[in-house]
Amino acid sequence: MPELAEVEYYRKQWNTGLGQPVTRVELHDQTRVFRDVDAHGISAALRDQPFSGSWARGKQMLFQFGRKAWVGVHLGMTGKLRSEALKFRPDKHDHLVIFLRTVALVFQDARQFGRVRFDVGSEPPEWWRKIPAPPHEQTFTKKMMAAFLARHQRLPIKATLLLQTGFAGIGNWMADEILWQARIAPHRKTGNLQPDELDRLWRSARSVCRKAMGAIASDFGDPPRGWLFHERWSRKGVCPKHRTPLKCATIGGRTTAWCPQCQK
């Protein structure tokens, strides 16, 4: 599933159309990506409206058309955004296509775990305003993180990092990377972490997210060399620091990799 930096990359793919008016909208209104949304209402509301803004926060994206129309996108497992030339013809997995004056904005999702939202109002929708600050933002403070962890003391720390209500944008590989760089075992109970471990966790979360944004969000490049990321996908993966074989288990419902020497 796309995480914080990948979501930012995909958001930028639609920016080629900023400032252009919508000429028409094509969509597959019966697909699951439009659950709880009047798909035809989207077409009517966007017609002739200029594409006026785009934002990403955590795993969510928000696009503004005109002054009051808001389209939200969650990519789910397989969703992607891209722009195409006007001669482009949508295929069966292109569930939302917004045609502008010179480009077409496409939301593709083969497995339909993603979601399209639509709101009308003078302010961004409430669901968007409720998304907490992601770890790379200045407002993600150590105090805020500690307060959130205190509410989930019985969970393994890996499972806690995956909660979007506290660590917006963090997914499976980023959680593993954060814990490895913080030298914290993923199965440790959140409530058992010591003050020095909380400090390392906060610093690691901010560092991993900021560096991932720099490496991935611009051109979908790989994270820096020497990260766990490059080893965790392999069954024979080893710790980048001292080549100890990694351990794997399911924690918080997700496949988890860690180094038993670094993360005791």
Q: What CATH superfamily is the domain 4-129?
A: MutM-like, N-terminal (3.20.190.10)
Domain range annotation of the chain: 4-129, 142-258
Instruction: Name the burial class of residue 82, with classes exposed (0-12), middle (13-18) and buried (19+) by CB atoms within 10 angstroms of its CB.
Output: middle
Query: What's the pLDDT score for residue 1?
Result: 82
- For residue 10, give the nearest of 68, 56, 50 by alpha carbon: 56
Query: What's the pLDDT score for residue 98?
Result: 98
Q: List per-residue pLDDT tens for the chain, 264 residues long.
A: 899 999 999 999 999 999 999 999 999 999 999 998 988 899 999 999 999 999 999 999 999 999 999 999 999 999 999 999 999 999 999 999 999 999 999 999 999 999 999 999 999 999 999 999 999 999 999 999 999 999 999 999 999 999 999 999 999 999 999 999 999 999 999 999 999 999 999 999 999 999 999 999 988 999 999 999 999 988 899 999 999 999 999 999 999 999 999 999
**What's the topology of domain 142-258?**
Helicase, Ruva Protein; domain 3 (1.10.8)
Q: Helix, strand or coil for residue 61?
A: strand
